[in-house]
Amino acid sequence: RSKDQGGGAHNQYEPKLHVHAEERRVMEIALRKALDNEEFSLNYQPVVSADTGGVMGFEALLRWTNPEFGVVSPAKFIPLAEDARLIVPIGEWVMRTACKEAMNWPSTVKVAVNVSADQLSDPNFLDMVVSALQDSQLPAQRLEIEVTESIFMREGTGATEVLDQIIALGINLSLDDFGTGYSSLGYLRKTRFTTIKVDRSFVQGAAKKVPESLAIIRAVVAMADSLGMSTTAEGAETEEEVKMIQKLGCRKIQGYYFGRPMAPHDALDLFRNFDPDAVSQDDRAA
Ligand code: C2E
Ligand code: MG
Ligand code: MG
Ligand code: MG
* Per-residue pLDDT tens digits for 224-237: 999 999 999 999 99
Helix (H, G, I), strand (E, B) or coil at 247: helix
- Ligand 2 mean position, distance from CA 151 (Å): 14
Whether 113 and 92 have beta carbons less than 8 Å apart is answered as no
E-only strand ranges, the chain: 40-49, 55-66, 70-72, 110-114, 143-148, 172-178, 195-198, 230-234, 252-254
Amino acid letter for position 157: T
Q: What is the pTM of this model?
A: 0.91
- Ligand 2 mean position, distance from CA 278 (Å): 24
* Per-residue pLDDT tens digits for 14-24: 555 566 888 88
Q: Is the CB of 245 under 6 A from ligand 1?
A: no
Q: Is the CB of 114 under 6 A from ligand 1?
A: yes
The DSSP-derived string for 100-116 is HHHTTS-TT-EEEEE--
Whether 115 and 145 have beta carbons less than 8 Å apart is answered as yes
Buried b (16+ CB within 10 A) or exposed e, 129-163: beebbeebebeebbbbbbbbbebbeeeeeebeebb
Of the candidates 112, 71, 86, the residue with the CA atom closest to the CA atom of residue 32? 86
ipTM of this predicted structure:
0.98
- Cα separation, 103 vs 140, in Å, equals 12
In the chain (286 residues long), the average pLDDT of successive 10-residue segments reads 42 59 91 97 98 96 96 95 96 98 97 97 97 98 96 80 97 95 82 96 94 95 96 97 96 97 96 67 50
Q: Is the CB of 176 under 6 A from ligand 1?
A: yes
Number of the ligand closest to the Cα of 115: 1
Number of the ligand closest to the Cα of 146: 2
* Per-residue pLDDT tens digits for 176-213: 999 888 767 888 988 999 999 999 999 999 999 999 99
